[in-house]
Amino acid sequence: MQFEGVGLPFLESLASGVPVIVTGWGGQMDFLTSKNSFLIPYRLQNPLTSMSSRHSISRKIGYLFAQKGQLWAEPELPSLKKIMRVAYENPGLCKQKGLQGRRDVLALPWDRARVKMKRVIETVIRFKN
Condensed to tens digits (0 to 9), the pLDDT of residues 72-126 reads 888 999 999 999 999 999 999 999 999 999 999 999 877 777 787 788 889 888 8
Nearest alpha-carbon partner for 37 in 18, 56, 60, 53: 18
For residues 34 and 86, what is the distance between their CA atoms, to the nearest angstrom?
A: 14
Where do the H-state alpha helices sit in the chain?
8-15, 47-51, 77-89, 91-106, 110-128
- What angle do helix axes 91-106 and 8-15 make, rounded to 10 degrees? 110
- Report pTM: 0.74
Q: Return mean pLDDT, the chain.
A: 85
| The Cα angle at residue 74 between residues 70 and 78, in degrees rounded to 5 | 165
